[in-house]
Amino acid sequence: MARRPPASPPARARRKAAAGASAPANGRPGVPRPEKIYDPVARALDAIGDRWSLVLVGHLLLGPKGFQELRNRTGIAPRVLSSRLRELQANGFVEPAPEGYAVTDRGRTLEPIVAAVARWFTRHGFAALNVRASQFTATSAQSILEALPFLLREDRAAGADVTFEIRLAGEGGGVWTVRIRDGHCTVRPGFAERADVRYTADAQVWCAVALGLGNARDLVKRGLITKDGGEAAMDHYFHQIARPVGSDEGEAPAAAATKESPTRTRRKGDTP
Task: Tell whether 144 and 252 lie within a shared domain.
Answer: yes
Q: What is the mean pLDDT of residues 34-39?
A: 86
Give the mean pLDDT of 239-264: 48
* 3 state SS of 198: strand
Q: 227 and 138, same structural domain?
A: yes
pLDDT band for 5, please (50, 70, 90 cuts): low
Could you tell me which residues are beta bridge partners of residue 117? Answer: none
Q: Is residue 265 part of a domain?
A: no
Domain boundary residue among 76, 92, 109?
Answer: 109
Rounded Cα–Cα distance for residues 245 and 129 (Å): 13
With beta carbons less than 8 A apart as the criterion, state whether 59 and 23 touch: no
The mean per-residue pLDDT over the stretch 49-56 comes to 90
Residue 49 lies in domain:
40-109
For residue 60, being part of any structural domain is answered with yes
Of 41, 23, 40, give the one whose Cα is nearest residue 32.
Answer: 23
Task: Give the pLDDT band (50/70/90) at residue 3.
Answer: low
Best CA proximity match to 123, nearest among 233, 253, 41, 244: 244
Among 12-16, 28-32, 56-60, 203-207, the minimum mean pLDDT is found in 12-16
pLDDT averaged over the chain? 81
Number of domains in the chain: 2
pLDDT tens digits, 67-105: 999 999 999 999 999 999 999 999 999 999 999 999 999
Residues of the chain with pLDDT > 90: what percent?
47
Mean pLDDT to the nearest integer, 192-213: 91
Could you give the CA distance from residue 43 to residue 250 in angstroms, rounded to a whole number? Answer: 41
Q: What is the mean pLDDT of residues 8-13?
A: 50
Which of 109, 142, 160 corresponds to the end of one domain? 109
As a whole number, mean pLDDT of residues 41-62 equals 89
Mean pLDDT of 178-186: 94
Q: What is the rounded distance in angstroms from the CA atom of residue 151 to the CA atom of residue 108? A: 16
Kindly state whether residue 24 falls inside one of the protein's structural domains: no
pLDDT at site 122: 84
> What's the confidence (pLDDT) of residue 269?
38
What is the predicted pLDDT for the residue at 127? 82
Model's pTM, two decimal places? 0.70
Average pLDDT over residues 214-238: 90
Is there a single domain that holds both residue 143 and residue 105? no
* Per-residue pLDDT, 25: 53
Please report which confidence band the pLDDT of residue 26 belongs to, taking 50, 70 and 90 as the band edges: low
Q: Is residue 187 part of a domain?
A: yes
Inside any domain, residue 226: yes
Q: Is residue 119 part of a domain?
A: no
pLDDT of residue 257: 42
Q: Do residues 138 and 255 both lie within one domain?
A: yes
Q: Is the pLDDT of residue 268 over 80?
A: no
pLDDT in tens, 115-173: 999 988 888 888 888 888 778 877 889 988 988 998 999 899 999 999 999 999 999 89
For 191-200, give one letter per residue: b (16+ CB within 10 A) or e.
ebeebbbbbb
User: Above pLDDT 70, what percent of the chain?
Assistant: 78
**Which one of 109, 124, 146 terminates a domain?**
109
Residue 9 pLDDT > 60: no
CA distances from 15 to 37, 84, 166 (A): 20, 38, 67
